[in-house]
A and B are shown apart, each in its own frame.
Chain A
Amino acid sequence: QKEVEQNSGPLSVPEGAIASLNCTYSDRGSQSFFWYRQYSGKSPELIMFIYSNGDKEDGRFTAQLNKASQYVSLLIRDSQPSDSATYLCAVNLVTSGTYKYIFGTGTRLKVLA
């Protein structure tokens, strides 16, 4: 089982709709969770992080974390064509004092104008 799993997509949504991206992880020791957006040929940029159960909202983005079910999701409201990108879920693990980030394979989002 992969440590961090995402549906590769593409996920297509019409402009103005809500895009829902999901991620599951296998290590219950995971401490914090990140969503990155990556445009083709560019490095990832941080959208949001979350480390407590529940919802966290930032503008059009809402991250949801459920540690019992080991999933984290990202909702994008009022999706725009400029949101079209690959969204990477990342998990921060700490083992023996060593910090490590494990990335999912990413979900490609297409927002249709």
Chain B
Amino acid sequence: GAVVSQHPSWVICKSGTSVKIECRSLDFQATTMFWYRQFPKQSLMLMATSNEGSKATYEQGVEKDKFLINHASLTLSTLTVTSAHPEDSSFYICSARVPRGGYNEQFFGPGTRLTVL
């Protein structure tokens, strides 16, 4: 299967600072990556769809100026949480779409746990 990595795996920051999370496809090229957020005991909520070379598509209710997404290459997408606050503390997970003939498979990164103090 395809391998997706994320860095860092966890981060603790002070309120008001910005945090960048990287998502890399290691052994394949990903034209489309997804960013999810998961709060404790809740499901994955899609934040945005990241397409290489174009602007990300954000889900309703997700602030694009707060969650900056850049997908500058076929193997790297980044999510920057700007001016982070304690309510942004969550588990952030990226995934990459891999077309397989008539359907699409999705491979997840290991996730990044963000704690904002």
Contacts and interface: CB of A to CB of B under 8 A. Distances in A.
Interface of A: 31-32, 34, 36, 41-46, 49, 51, 88, 90, 92, 98-106
Summarize B's interface: helix, strand, loop or mixed: strand
Given A34-B106, A92-B104, A104-B43, 19 more contacts: A31-B103, A36-B108, A41-B113, A42-B110, A43-B108, A43-B109, A44-B44, A44-B108, A46-B107, A49-B103, A51-B102, A88-B43, A90-B106, A99-B49, A99-B97, A100-B46, A101-B46, A103-B43, A105-B42
A51 B103 contact: yes
Contact of A103 (B44, B107, B110): B44
Contacts, number: 54
B103 A100 contact: no
Contacts of A34: 106
B35 to A, nearest CB: 12
Contacts of B67: none
Contacts of A44: 44, 93, 108
Interface in B78-112: 91, 93, 95, 97, 102-111
A46 B103 contact: no
A42 B111 contact: yes
Given A43-B93, A43-B111, A98-B57, A32 B46 contact: no
Contact of A43 (B45, B49, B110): B110
12 contacts: A31-B103, A43-B110, A44-B108, A45-B108, A46-B1, A90-B106, A92-B103, A99-B104, A100-B46, A101-B34, A101-B106, A102-B46
B32 interface: yes
A46 B43 contact: no
A34 to B, nearest CB: 7
A32 B110 contact: no
